[in-house]
Amino acid sequence: MARTLQVTERTVYAWFSGKTAVPYAAYKLLRILNRFELPGWPGWHMHSGKLWTPEGFGFEPQDGAWWALLVRQARAFRKLYDRSGELERALAEGAERAPAALACDVRAGEREVPRPASEAAGRREAPPNLLLRHFTTGPSVAGLLAVPAKSPNFVTWNARYP
């Protein structure tokens, strides 16, 4: 125990005999190492070098490195999720008000459908896409590979894994 707490054996003897008070940090460390319940953590305990949750999930010591990241990710997700809900509610309210707003704002004949760019002043029509004529309707490569039984790789695989 003295080696664990990095004190001399004489100090440990003084603690047990009651000559000196046991430091609070040493007392808490001994409680944790002896697998007592962790103070302030009901249901949590130490066993087999792991920290065990009340649900029975054990954390290895190296798991602490990613724990803070996981907590930050969960908080960020919660903020984004709440924001998404707010935006969905705003869109739903806007969709309910939109038909009435359009009926009030748009007068008959004032709304013009945009014309294609080729009809705009000063632009000529785009040439037709000639790339399509180079494609043929002959047999495709996918059609040739559709029968796996005739493939040498399939036969080899089938013989290897019966």
Structure-token match 């908080």, residue found:
75
Lowest mean per-residue pLDDT among 1-5, 7-11, 22-26, 33-37: 33-37
Residue 59 near residue 50, CB atoms below 8 Å: yes
Residue 58 near residue 65, CB atoms below 8 Å: no
pLDDT score for 121: 61
Q: What is the pLDDT of residues 31-76, one digit of tens each?
A: 777 766 676 788 888 778 888 889 998 888 888 788 888 889 999 9
CA 88 to chain CA mean position, Å: 22
Structure-token match 């724990």, residue found:
67
